[in-house]
Amino acid sequence: MAAPSKPHQPDGTSSGWNPRLALLVAATFFMEFLDGTVLTTAIPSIAADFAIPAADVNITMTAYLLTVAVGIPISGWLAERFGARRIFCAAIAVFTLASLACALSQDLATLTLSRIAQGAGGAMMVPVGTLVVLRGTPKSELLRATAFLVWPGLLAPVLAPLVGGALTTYLSWHWIFLVNIPLGAAAFAAALRLVPVTPGDPGRRLDWTGMALTTVGVGALVAGLELASSHPELPWAGISALAGAVALTAAVLWMRRAPHPLFNLQVFHARTFRAMATGGFVYRVTISSVPFLLPLMFQTGFGWSPLQAGAMVAAVFVGNIGIKPATTPLIRKFGFKAMLVFASVASAITFAACAFLTPETPEALMFVLLVCSGAFRSIGFSAYASVQYADIPPAQLTSANTVSATIVQLGTGSGIALAALLIRTFNGPVLVPQDPARPFRGAFLAMAVLMLASTADSLLLPRHAGAAVSQRGHGQDQSTKPGTTADGDTQPGTSCTTTMSTPAQAGTTQPAVSPPAPEPGEVPLPPRPAEGRAPRR
């Protein structure tokens, strides 16, 4: 029986898979993700109440997204310094109280400041909540855990137009924020009961230089992306993005030699984690553009009503949910590499197919196409969310989680900015007269080509990448040397928690976590002299 190793567990988190905790964290994520985009449909109503131009209300969305982006990098240090449980509960409280302040706002300045406070709470909820779940999850259960954590990012962008439109139409824009009050109160009470006690490390130092460079870099980059999508005619978008890239480069150079860096950049030594930052980044950029492009194409290009467009986009939601029960079995059967390649190629095909939709296309056919697109989207999201932690040792989990959350935030913003830029680009020369959907067709084709870059990166993954998580086949290539991972890196550990084998197991072939039953049609695993890694003492 595997037992937690006390010396390697300074935060006091107990190991063990807790679905209720994962569901709680996923619910808080959904609130944070939804509030990032739900305000779009309420902008005209807010502008009318405040007697200001609708364009001025965009500052509330930009302030929220910018605060979330710049707050994520320091969240990992806060969790280590004060304890993940304390920070997670504080984040829920801040987010909930800020939502109440947003609903009570009487002018744009108050609403903007309240949105900044709401973004600060959201910035802590996402990475710290993920850390709380991952620390108590052995690698054999990581696929199940990430299945819970992935769905908010999949569903929130799709449901935001429907939720925002319904609340604004039948109640008022204030209810977009008021619904967070009972949800936040329930989440806070549940967090006090479910999240393990984490005392923190009072002696942990903060890398002030690294934090400043990272905050400036991420903030400038996100601001540049927002300007590129809203005001592409101004030069400030390029200037801001360039300044952000320079600051992030300086942050990387600093943290490579800093005695106590904000992030441990050794996480990039793991090929499976690098996949998230390369092909995974491209995948998220392209996928994030779909909830932005589809409603605009249906309304502007096809002349549909917002309700009709929102109902059709909901087909993506159906695909996300419908494939979810099969995602984990598929990854266990075929492995991460095969499923990442499949998800990216299939997504590219659906993007190309969207480019050829017309107002005369049967709506049933459109619905089926978007259901398939949502299913492929879900498979890729789940695979990247799980494989990135496959070879991360417990000591580097906080850094890996925070870096991943930052890259995800940048990828989402980049997808929307790139989609807006492509629409304007293809809106220039007239190739097909009297076709209002022409810019969107070009954007979808460009996104399909870009998605193939993610496919190329996935093809370069080792055959057994992430085998410790997927538990596929023998888990490791027979040629893998003891003490190394499938991609040749030094084996850092066998679980996301600090679960260790007992002395009685050190010389046996029994793994610390029992492998799952074989899938139908698979041959049961025979006993082997080693699991592809050196026995731990």
Q: What DSSP letter does each residue of 249-274 carry, written as one string? A: HHHHHHHTT-SS-SS-GGGGGSHHHH
Specify the pLDDT at position 86: 87
C-alpha 132/C-alpha 146 separation (Å) is 12
Q: How many CB atoms lie within 10 A of CB 342?
A: 18
pLDDT of residue 478: 37
Q: What integer pLDDT is reported at residue 474 of this predicted model?
A: 43
Sorted by sequence, the CB contacts under 8 Å of residue 221 that are 6+ apart come out as 240, 241, 244, 245, 248, 410
Q: What is the pLDDT of residue 232?
A: 63
**For residue 55, what pLDDT is reported?**
67
Strand-pairing partners, residue 3, are 500
Q: Is 259 left (phi over 0), alpha (psi -120 to 50) or beta?
A: alpha
pLDDT value at position 417?
Answer: 78
Tell me how far apart the alpha carbons of residues 115 and 117 are, in angstroms, rounded to a whole number: 5
- For residue 276, the number of C-alpha atoms closer than 13 Å in the C-beta half-sphere is 30
CA atoms lying within 13 Å on the CB side of residue 397: 31
For residues 231 and 401, give the distance between their C-alpha atoms in angstroms, rounded to a whole number: 32
464 with 486: CB under 8 angstroms? yes
State residue 486's pLDDT score: 41
**pTM value?**
0.73
- Reported as a single tens digit per residue, the pLDDT across 94-142 is 999 999 998 888 888 888 899 899 988 888 888 888 888 877 777 777 7
Q: What is the pLDDT of residue 277?
A: 86
CA nearest to 474, candidates 391, 390, 519, 532: 532
Distances (CA, A) of 372 to 282, 334, 414, 439: 20, 19, 24, 23
456, 449 contact by CB (below 8 A)? no
Structural contact between residues 21 and 133, judged by C-beta atoms closer than 8 angstroms = yes
Task: Give tens-digit pLDDT for 346-379.
Answer: 999 999 999 998 888 898 999 999 999 989 988 8
pLDDT given at position 347: 93
Task: State which residues of the chain have pLDDT below 50.
Answer: 1-15, 431-432, 474-537
Question: Residues with Cβ < 8 Å from 452, sequence gap 6 or more?
Answer: 344, 345, 348
The reported pLDDT for the residue numbered 92 is 92
Q: What is the DSSP string of 214-231?
A: HHHHHHHHHHHHHHHHH-
| Residue among 40, 67, 43 nearest 160 (CA) | 40
Residues 85, 13 contacting (CB under 8 angstroms):
no
C-alpha torsion sign, points 70, 73, 77, 78: positive
C-alpha pair distances (Å), 310 with each of 54, 105, 172, 275: 21, 28, 19, 33
76-111: b (≥16 Cβ within 10 Å) or e = bbbbbbbbbbbbbbbbbbbbbbbbbbbbebeebeeb
β-sheet bridge partners, residue 499: 4
